[in-house]
Structures are given as structure tokens and as C-alpha cells.
Amino acid sequence: MSKYKVTIEVIDILGDGRCSMDQKIGTVYKYPEDLGKMCPSSLYILYPWIMVMSSGGSFTDTGDGHDFMTVGCSDYTHQVVYKISRTPVDE
């Protein structure tokens, strides 16, 4: 049986490229280890998608067991775009 490792990566910041919560492109968060490091507002938006990924749900399957989706935060002037990905981990 497999379980999943979920990562959340900042892949873009729209607008002028500056996030008001100081998120940076390239920052990677691990779920659930880094929850306290993420922007609380973004976490609120991302949480349902993180739960789908961690429980085995699927979005864009790459065919090699990896799965991902992109989601933006709610700040329409400086929207941070995240890539949520899932990788199977054998127990």
C-alpha cells in the first residue's frame, strides 16, 4: 500500500511579482511539516486541494505516479500561484 508525500511550491507571483506576505518564487513547503510557514490565507484556499492529493485523489496524472495541480491565492493584485504535487511513498 502507498501513501503520498505532498509538496506545495510557489511557481509564480502575478502583478508586480511581489507578495504582500513575502512569499518567494521557488519556495517549497512540505505537507504537513511546513504548515506554520505558509501564508494563512493561501493555506485556507489550498487546504481542500491538499486534502484531495494526500488522500489519493487525482488531478493531472503524469503517468509515472506523480500528480499535480496549480492553484492561485485570493490576492487578485499580487496573486501567488502554487503547484501542489503528490508523490507516492511506499510504506
Spatial contact of 86 and 4, defined as CB atoms under 8 Å apart: yes
pLDDT tier for residue 1 given thresholds of 50, 70 and 90: very low
pLDDT tens for 33-88 read: 998 899 999 999 999 999 988 888 777 655 665 688 899 999 988 999 999 998 88
pTM for the predicted model, two decimal places: 0.86
pLDDT tier for residue 2 given thresholds of 50, 70 and 90: low
Reduced to 3 states (helix: H, G, I; strand: E, B; else coil), residue 6 is strand
Residue spans of beta strands (DSSP E) within the chain:
2-13, 28-31, 60-61, 67-72, 80-90
Q: Compute the distance between CA of residue 28 and CA of residue 49 in angstroms, rounded to an integer.
A: 16
Spatial contact of 58 and 39, defined as CB atoms under 8 Å apart: no
Residue ranges of alpha helices (H) inside 1-91 are 40-54
Given this model, what pLDDT does residue 59 score? 72
